[in-house]
Chains A and B, each alone.
Chain A
């Protein structure tokens, strides 16, 4: 009996970067649209809106939550975000299925940690046999080509 090795089409760094850029733009657009609606409603209530430090921090947290939910929602329900779908990518766990809700949150945190040091968390993609980035190591996931 001979074992046949199957070459899994793990996605490379450039394709993943383009997909991430598309997703970042979409998440920002969603946050800006929501912020615009919120500002419109606030302007009806008060004439003079000024952000203090606490409100700025709350706005930053809101941004993080919206962007985080964007990724978690798509990864845990479809296994791919709109940007990944555009580039023909899919995120899978060790069983070959899309990650669950908790694993997706872990992956989002890993994504943030990979981006913070100027994207250094993505460099393992270039040398790892399964082309995994920091978020993939943390969440035990991989990104493959295929819609």
Chain B
């Protein structure tokens, strides 16, 4: 707010100061001299602008980017979900499936993947993952679980056969098993 007022005051001051100069420049004798001086000043000004204005512009741009305006713009972009809207629009316009299919079908993709798989770095990564304690623990746990499930299954089946066999033989002999032992 204060910056805007300062800029407005500067613009008004320049306009007020330029009026007498314009009047003198229209005068019959003095005017040509003033115009020549003005032309010389303008030429100097153009040279100066190429040398001075550009760094000033950069400086001003830096100030703008470092100031609250950038934050405000970023905040506004986030609040209005601009990125999501743009991404959704882009995805809607693009045929992503065909793009992915084309990339996968390309020979270069196959060559790149093959080269990557054969690379020393990939071998190092695979070796690191395969020998990691987490992977070994997961494999061990999985194997133990499988073995335990198998043993539990064999146990329960064998116990069922125990009861069936005993009941059958005791049935033949008419000698039922006592309820409590």
**Which A residues lie at the B interface, using CB under 8 A?**
5-8, 10-15, 18, 86-88, 125-127, 129-131, 145
B158 contacts A127, C-beta separation under 8 Å: no
Query: Is the C-beta of B169 less than 8 angstroms from some C-beta in chain A?
Result: yes
Q: Which residue of A lies closest to B163 (CB)?
A: A12
Q: How many residues on B have C-beta within 8 angstroms of the other chain's C-beta atoms?
A: 19
In the docked arrangement, what's the CA distance between A45 and B43, Å? 114
A88-B151 Cα distance, complex, nearest whole Å: 9
Measured CB to CB, the closest approach of chain B to A19, in angstroms, equals 9
Does B154 reach chain A (CB closer than 8 Å)?
yes
B 136-169 binary contact with A (CB < 8 Å = 1; else 0): 0000000000000001001100110111011001
- Residue of B with least CB distance to A14: B161
Per CB-CB distance, the 9 closest pairs between chain A and chain B, nearest first, are A12-B162, A5-B180, A14-B161, A15-B158, A126-B169, A14-B158, A14-B162, A126-B166, A88-B155
Q: Are A12 and B155 in contact (CB under 8 A)?
A: no
Main secondary structure of the interface of B (DSSP, over half): helix
Q: A15 CA to B151 CA in the complex, in Å?
A: 12
Partner among A18, A87, A88, A127 whose Cβ is within 8 Å of the Cβ of B169: A127
B162 and A15 form a contact (CB under 8 A) = yes
Question: Which chain B residues numbered 10 to 36 have a C-beta less than 8 Å away from chain A?
Answer: none
Interface check B181, CB cutoff 8 A:
yes
Q: Which residues of A contact B162 (CB under 8 A)?
A: 11-15
Contacts A126-B165, A127-B170, A129-B177; is A18 near B151 (CB within 8 Å)?
no
Report the bound CA distance from A145 to B160 in whole Å: 13
| B178 contacts the other chain (CB 8 A) | yes
20 A-B Cβ contacts within 8 A?
A5-B180, A5-B181, A7-B179, A11-B162, A12-B158, A12-B161, A12-B162, A12-B166, A13-B162, A15-B155, A15-B158, A15-B159, A15-B161, A15-B162, A87-B155, A88-B155, A125-B166, A126-B165, A126-B169, A129-B177
B180: A residues at CB distance < 8 A: 5-7
Give CA–CA (A36, B178) in the complex, Å.
50
Q: Please, which residue of chain B has its CB at the minimum distance from the CB of A7? A: B180
Q: How far is the CB of B10 from chain A (nearest CB, A)?
A: 94
- How far apart are B170's CB and chain A's nearest CB, in angstroms? 6
